[in-house]
Amino acid sequence: MPGEAASAQIGRSAVRAALHAYGLDPLVPAAVQVAGELLAAGWHLDPGGSLYLNLRYREDDRLRLTVYDGHAAHDHPRLAAHCEARRRAALRLLRVVVRECGGEWGFGESREPGGGTRTWVSLPRAGALGYGDPVAARSGGRRG
């Protein structure tokens, strides 16, 4: 999708529809928040470029979301450190969501032919089920 502000909303809608189609509706709140954050950061760091969103439910009961953007790594160490700090700052809310769900996230050089950066999130089903549910959060992810 194009690296534009509207891409985050388009991506959230696509994630919502895909999860619904596969009967994974309880994962929608966490997944939609993560997709929006990943796409917004990709657009912010590479405006006008292309973004690629990948959504996968893995056999180990984890939801994996990956966004590829065209912002390539910098050769100069100081520029690379500044860019990494900028990406981390852009993903502050994402870190909170991932931590609340008990997941993992990271970013690095894209292995895609066009290069750029790959940012990924892995959310365990159990953690994503309780996202945004204050009752589940107070009881360690368990309801009732």
Q: How many angstroms separate the CA atoms of 140 and 98, rounded?
A: 15
pTM for the whole structure: 0.86
- Reported as a single tens digit per residue, the pLDDT across 119-139 is 999 999 999 998 976 555 444
- Reported as a single tens digit per residue, the pLDDT across 53-109 is 999 999 999 999 999 988 877 788 888 788 888 888 999 999 999 999 999 999 988
